[in-house]
Amino acid sequence: MNNNIAQSFDENGFVALSNLLAQEVAAISTEVDKVIAGEVCGVPEHDIIYEPNSAPPRVRNIFRLHQYIPFFMETARNPKIVAAVEEIFGRPVRLYASQLFAKPAAVGTAVPMHQDMPYWPFEPAELLSCWIALDDSTLENGCVRYVAGSHKLGVLKHAPSGVAGNSLGLDDARLAGLEEIPIEAPRGSCILHHCLTAHRSEPNRSPNARRGLIYVYMSDRVRLTDPAKLKGQADFPIVSTA
């Protein structure tokens, strides 16, 4: 057991695992690029969001990749990722969602400060996101910034953000006084963050892309509370290995 993963996650609401997928990242990156370029069919247009005012249109988000393309379901079961999630939630671990944040060079827009849980119709709040760096993530290209300890505050007040792909933004004074930590992550690294951890990212002002592939995992204690609010299939497969 790697107690450092669970301890850091519990204390800060996130944990960075440098180079966890260093061997796999090239293959994952190639498949993501095929989807962005439209070379792989299967993702419906309603699950693709483009950067505003980009010409030609540049992909901002792609949702539910694992439900449309088998490669991304296989990647969700990667034993290195699953083992890290099991350190936090125990077994079995289930998969909820997958999505791409493309953050293209020069035009990638900001993601407002938010928690993930207000988007999701589940309880208890035992879900986490595994953010996989497909490129070196830096201050210049919009690395993710996490508010340490914010997961201990519960669900915070949100308001409409007006941002396509990230429709909610935090509007809660309780974040004042907590430290925001930008995480610069080498390509192939993974960052796990709690569904109540407040986080955001700046625009990509660099000539380099900052693609991040995200998987959302849940403990086996999580239950769907409002099926009407669920987007996509109500299918949460077990990804833990035997």
Q: What is the pLDDT of residues 85-120, one digit of tens each?
A: 999 999 999 999 999 999 999 999 999 999 999 889
The confidence band for 1, taking pLDDT boundaries of 50, 70 and 90, is very low
Asked if the bond preceding 124 is cis, omega within 30° of 0, the reply is yes
Where are the strands (E) in the chain, listed by range? Answer: 14-17, 48-50, 59-63, 93-101, 111-114, 122-123, 127-133, 144-147, 158-163, 166-170, 180-182, 190-194, 199-201, 212-219, 223-224
Q: Is 109 helix (H, G, I), strand (E, B) or coil?
A: coil
pTM: 0.94
Q: How far apart are CA 209 and CA 138, in angstroms?
A: 10
Asked if pLDDT for residue 2 goes beyond 60, the answer is no
Q: DSSP per residue over 25-57, as a string?
A: HHHHHHHHHHHHTT-S----GGGEEE-TT-SS-
Query: Is residue 209 very low, low, confident or very high in pLDDT (cuts 50, 70, 90)?
Result: very high
- Does the pLDDT value for residue 172 go beyond 90? no
Give the per-residue pLDDT at 163: 79
Comparing 44-48, 70-74, 77-81, 171-175, the range with the smallest average pLDDT is 171-175
Contact (Cβ atoms closer than 8 angstroms) between residue 148 and residue 119:
no
Q: Are 20 and 80 in contact (CB under 8 A)?
A: yes
Helix (H, G, I), strand (E, B) or coil at 211: coil
> Any residues with CB less than 8 A from the CB of 93 and at least 6 apart, and which?
82, 85, 86, 217, 218, 219, 220, 238, 239, 240
Fold classification of 3-229 (topology level): Jelly Rolls (2.60.120)
Amino acid at 58: R
Ranges of each domain in the chain:
3-229
Read off the pLDDT band of 152 (50, 70, 90): very high
Q: What is the mean pLDDT of the chain?
A: 93
pLDDT at residue 53 is higher than 90: no
